[in-house]
Structure 1
């Protein structure tokens, strides 16, 4: 059984993913929240953590937003109902939350973004809204009532007088109360409104969705420094025109040709995409260790039974270049080109947060690949765990 309950992964991907909502009862049987309410409040007081407070009404204004960090005394003074505390990137700060993401790797690594924690007392909510990305809403504490509406977009009317994108015309089409362990999947654009029935916590597992504009500008910026483009625009077919103000069709076709040639390079496109999609979502999460490691030290640690694990904020992906051109490995915005038998290490590193150490050790017998793993450790993307699953003091 997967976290999708009785729905197979194949059916979910074909019938629900980016198509329609799905309520999954008991997706995580007997779940224990990876973070307590007090711990979540403590994170909201930290400067490095992105946190927000949403009040349904404040000073007669609807849906008001406050950004953290917050003072502990302020959080303790909050009223008994009708507010919500949000903490972004919970998986970056809490290893137990990062482990939850392993259950969602039936979609590509590059799509997984992060986990947002939402705590609310009775009546707490962030209002009716829609997201532009896929999301799983996992209940970990208490109960939340979800009202699900239709599909909306940026033209949908919004409530005035609030910095939040609250839908003015929300109509409930389906309703359900989620208990701890239950989960709701929502595709992009589907309106929803979650209201706390009691003190409750919900984890939002979000996914990345670059826009078409992001793709075009990203690839264009990436290829702009290519030496092949370091030339001036030419006039391939000069001819006398009826008016000097006219831009000729031949000139536009020449521009199209330049763009097509520049943007039809799979290597360049894959390089931009892989680096952009694995770029850490928050600064200060993937940081080099205090003491850099060498290959001998790392191999000794691994031989002593200390497995390597992804940094909680790291992202790993790879791409096979056409015509057996090798494999590109992307880790936290960095690109590594692999060829020949070395390509297999990318699949081992990218399969999940806990790489297969037997397979990885075999690859690390090759000095160049041992150096690759060392570089990933020294950039903070991997760290060695001790026998009890805790981070090694040297990482």
Structure 2
């Protein structure tokens, strides 16, 4: 299989894209890959939809009569799908299929913490999920077959929707642009743009790379919940409002500006802790999408196992399912966040952490490691976030 994860620089300029299109306007790229081959057979996608730990949906019917079923799906369900068009959608396929995870490498000109997952859809002719809009950026890669995409105007939370128990379908969809995508073509859609994709062939496959965009409400809720949890553990009974030297008021019914300032300071001091927020967000943004999946090795490795792998020249490879980011701490120190865990790194460990984050899916050869780097490698490998390639 040809490597589908490389975009031809002669046909795609990431800097121009970020300047002119990212979160501004749609863009169609006509097969900009150095070599395109559909990375996932349809029967393997169907097999994933039958597994309990994989999130999947089946949408049957055509315009005006869509029905949705949530997975896992029984194997015999696909044999029953005759006549009416249908679409299978499987979330986070990149966490289960390395060839699909490799697609992400082409889009790493956008920070890793923004990347959500790769959803893969399979549809028969006429299949689709109806006109809708998303609150996030998405690259739609046509893997096999052809799909017609129609785009409309910009939507928001006040845009009218059709009554439907499972699908968020637009009540009014006006077509402003239309494209036909063939294998290897890419359509970028910014947040809030109405769109509708319909398969023109049987065995139509589309890969959707979505990007997370936390809302203000989600950030406030997550940060304050974290602070409240911390207060619950460390709360002091004497950590209360105090006003020594209280002057006598002309009117005891007034809440004075001085009292309000003291109260607001009590409530906001922790909220304004920039270092604490950074650590919380690093952990929050790297939490596994599906935390119940256990990627740890069957046998916990020891330091000697790590040294033996390095001596044998085995490269270190990140688990495609691992979420990994870092925040600099000044100088050469950094905080590495892996699957919701914070790992402070200094010296050689910080250098290795940066190399691993930069490499993405590419193998890294650690070389000679000291105790700090060895400790980091042990934590990553035993967590299942990385492993040595024995081949």
TM-score under structure 2 normalisation? 0.90
Taking the TM superposition and a 5 Å limit, the aligned residue runs for 1:165-314 are 165-199=168-202, 200-224=204-228, 225=230, 230=236, 231-236=238-243, 237=246, 239-240=248-249, 242=251, 244=253, 246-314=254-322
Alignment of 1:1-395 (within 5 A): 2=7, 6-56=11-61, 62-199=65-202, 200-224=204-228, 225=230, 230=236, 231-236=238-243, 237=246, 239-240=248-249, 242=251, 244=253, 246-322=254-330, 324=331, 326-340=333-347, 342-354=349-361, 357-358=364-365, 360-362=366-368, 365-387=369-391
Deviation at 1:240, TM superposition (A): 3.2
Aligned length: 380
C-alpha separation in 2, matches of 1:315 and 1:282: 11
Counterparts in 2 of 1:46 and 1:184: CA distance versus 1, 3 Å: same
Q: Structure 1 residues 332 and 372 mapped into 2: Cα distance closer, same or farther (>3 Å)?
A: same
CA RMSD of superposed structures (Å): 2.3
In 2, the alpha carbon distance for the partners of 1:188 and 1:238 equals 54
- Cα distance in 2 for partners of 1:181, 1:163 equals 30
Q: Distance in 2 between matches of 1:300 and 1:88?
A: 37
**Cα deviation, residue 243, structure 1:** 5.4
Corresponding residue SS for 1:166? coil
Deviations 1:316-373, CA, capped at 9 Å, x for gaps? 1110125x48311111111011234542222112113346634x224xx211220111
CA distance in structure 1 between the partners assigned to 2:248 and 2:36 by the alignment: 74
Tell me if structure 2 keeps the 8 A contact 1:102–1:352.
Answer: no
Cα contact 1:3–1:103 (8 A) shared by 2? no
Conservation of the 8 A alpha-carbon contact between 2:348 and 2:373: no
Question: What is the CA–CA distance in structure 2 between the aligned matches of 1:201 and 1:159, rounded to whole Å?
Answer: 26
TM-score (norm 1): 0.89
SS in 2 for 1:314: coil
Return closer, same or farther for 1:325/1:6 CA change in 2, 3 Å cut-off. closer
- When structure 1 is superposed on structure 2, of 145-154 and 277-286 the one drifting more is 277-286
Structure 1 residues 131 and 209 mapped into 2: Cα distance closer, same or farther (>3 Å)? same
Equivalent residues of 1:308, 1:354 under 8 A apart? no
Deviation, 1:259, is 3.9
Separation of aligned partners in 2, 1:40 and 1:157: 33
In 1, distance between residues paired with 2:81 and 2:377?
A: 47
Secondary structure at the aligned position of 2:118 is classed as: strand
Structure 1 pair 300–325 and aligned structure 2 pair: CA distance change class (3 A): closer
Structure 1 residue 206, shift from structure 2 partner: 0.8
- Mapped contact 1:64–1:162 kept (Cα < 8 A): no
SS at the partner of 2:377? Answer: helix
1:242 positional shift: 3.0
